[in-house]
Amino acid sequence: MKKLARYSRLAEMAEIPAEVLFSVSRVEIVGGSKVRIENQRGIAHFERSQVIVIVPEGRLVIEGRALTIDWVDRPTMVITGQVNTLRFEGRPEA
């Protein structure tokens, strides 16, 4: 834990975002109509009412209506539509 705290302080001093240094996801919500996910690892499930995105920490479940995937590239995904619920499901502990 001390090592993680040390790296966190170093990242803060160097003004490097934690999601870059530690390979964690970053989720940005705009209004109730757009979700931008950085450091995503793919789509586990897609329906117009539910999208499940694989992220380093587990799965991000997005629920709503008329959901569409507007943009996907290696690190980033943008989902639009009427977003009602965001739920994070962590990986099971080993």
Report the CATH number that the domain containing residue 67 is assigned in CATH: 2.60.40.2000
pLDDT at 3 over 60: no
pLDDT of the residue at 12: 73
Burial class (CB in 10 A: 0-12, 13-18, 19+), 21: middle
What whole-number distance in Å separates Cα of residue 39 and Cα of residue 24?
7
Query: Domain count of the chain?
Result: 1
Full domain range(s) for residue 76? 25-90
pLDDT tier, 10 (very low <50, low <70, confident <90, very high otherwise): low
pLDDT tens sequence across 15-40: 766 656 667 889 999 999 999 999 99
Q: What angle do CA 87, 42, 33 make, to 5 degrees?
A: 50
Q: Which residue, chain included where needed, has tokens 């940005």?
A: 28
CA distance 33 to 58: 23
Considering the domain boundaries, does residue 10 fall inside one? no
Q: Is residue 33 part of a domain?
A: yes
- Is the confidence at residue 4, as pLDDT, over 60? no
pLDDT higher than 70, residue 74: yes
Question: Is residue 7 a part of any domain in this protein?
Answer: no
Q: What is the C-alpha separation between 64 and 82, in angstroms, rounded?
A: 5
Domain assignment present for residue 3? The answer is no
